[in-house]
Amino acid sequence: MILVENNSRDAAYHFSIEEFFTRYVRKTEPVLMLWQTKRTVMLGNNQEVSSEVDTEFAMESAIQIVRRSSGGGAIFTDLGTVLYTVIQPVTKDIKTIREDVAASVINALIKLGVPAMREGRNDILVEGKKVSGFAQYTSGNHVCTHGSLLFNADIDTLTDVLIANEEKLRPKGIASIRSRVTNIKPYIKDDISVFEFIIKLRDILINEFDCSKYEFSDEDKTMIARIYAEKYGNQEWNLGSRFDQ
């Protein structure tokens, strides 16, 4: 396994790194990233901004809006959230790869004392409330599986900036976004910080593998910067003509 570490808090930069490995530098072994962002709304590939985000609140609150390459729903992330990414060759069915990544994350949470379980296609729950969602996209013979973990996220801001899809919530008997999500921190016995959580999570995830750290060359950084400028850092990609001013 290859471990990629980066201190940037810009989601667009991390999505650029993901694409760098998924589309261009296709490693034969899995690539693992654990990362964080400043306050950000991440949109699915085909979502309408104005249908998913309270854009006025987002602008007033200096919340970044970034569009990822995978599908799925809009999520809010901040420094109380941990993002995970696994990029690997497609050696088995895509669904199986997604389930394997989910199982690894759930196993890590259980080892930390969190009673996590899988629900549906893309969610991880604790006591009936969502703590993680994940999505995928493929390029050639490689797949990127990524997701978020609500460790100690600002649930108030999450609730305010995301527009609830009542048609999806109502059949599940869920009254609001707030009633659907929760943080992981209260379920961990030891009073640990998000940084300690990341270290523990990383150590569990890489424990079964020979792990090497990837160091970016100047050429790598140039390519990542190009991806950033052309796509994830470009407002035409993130907001486009679908952005309702």
Residue 176 has what pLDDT? Answer: 46
Residue 57 has what pLDDT? Answer: 97
Q: Which residues contact 92 (CB under 8 A, 6 or more apart)?
A: none
User: Is pLDDT of 165 > 70?
Assistant: no
**Residue 88 pLDDT grade (very low, low, confident, very high; cuts 50, 70, 90):** very high
Contact 13, 225 (CB under 8 A): no
Which of 52, 44, 49, 91 lies closest to 72 in space, CA to CA? 44
Which whole number is the average pLDDT over 93-111? Answer: 95
Contact 30, 208 (CB under 8 A): no
Hey, what domains does the chain have and what are their CATH numbers?
2-237 (3.30.930.10)
User: Is pLDDT of 167 > 50?
Assistant: no
Residue 172 has what pLDDT? Answer: 45
Question: Which residue has tokens 């990362």?
Answer: 35
Which whole number is the average pLDDT over 211-237? Answer: 96
Contact 70, 44 (CB under 8 A): yes
Tens-place pLDDT, residues 8-62 = 999 999 999 999 999 999 899 999 999 999 999 999 999 999 999 999 999 999 9
Contact 85, 32 (CB under 8 A): yes
3-state SS, the chain, equals CEEECCCCCCHHHHHHHHHHHHHHCCCCCCEEEEECCCCEEEECCCCCHHHHECHHHHHHCCCEEEECCCCCCCEEECCCEEEEEEEEECCCCHHHHHHHHHHHHHHHHHHCCCCEEEECCCEEEECCEEEEEEEEEEECCEEEEEEEEECCCCHHHHHHHECCCHHHHHHHCCCCHHHHECCCHHHCCCCCCHHHHHHHHHHHHHCCCCCEECCCCHHHHHHHHHHHHHHHCCHHHHCHHHCCC
10 Å Cβ neighbour count for 103?
A: 11
Which of 122, 143, 142, 120 lies closest to 132 in space, CA to CA? 122
Alpha-carbon distance of 6 to 220, in angstroms, equals 13
**Residue 178 pLDDT grade (very low, low, confident, very high; cuts 50, 70, 90):** low
User: Is pLDDT of 149 > 50?
Assistant: yes
Which whole number is the average pLDDT over 178-204? Answer: 93
Question: Which residue has tokens 């750290």?
Answer: 213
User: Is pLDDT of 102 > 70?
Assistant: yes
Per-chain mean pLDDT for the chain: 91
pTM of the model: 0.91
